[in-house]
Amino acid sequence: MDNQKLSHDILNILERLRIMHDLMKDKNFEHIPKEELLNDLQENLDLLKTNFQKLSQ
């Protein structure tokens, strides 16, 4: 995967994290339950770490 694609993916994950932050801050679980959001959070954090590691290689 080239660096440009990795960088794009990382920025998309950060956007997702920002949305999750807003939803959790507002306790807005009407459409996406809290448990699902927490799972998404873990998945995205793992992916973020992997992508950052690849980007640094």
Partner 1 sequence: MDKIICLGKNYSDHIAEMKEPASEMPVLFLKPASAFIETKNNGKIILPWERGLIHHECEVVFKLYKKNIIGLGLGLDLTLRDTQKELKSKGQPWEISKVFKNSAICTPIQGLRDFLNWQETPFILKVNGEIRQESKLSNAILKPNDMIHYIDKYFPICDGDLIFTGTPSGVAALKPNDMIELKFGPIETSFQVVAQDG
Of 3, 19, 21, 50, the one binding partner 1 (CB under 8 A) is: 19
* Closest to partner 1 by CB, 21 or 49: 21
Nearest CA to 32 out of 45, 23, 43, 22 is that of 23
Give min distance, CB of 36 to partner 1, in A: 9
23 binds partner 1 per the rule CB under 8 A: yes
* Closest to partner 1 by CB, 2 or 31: 31
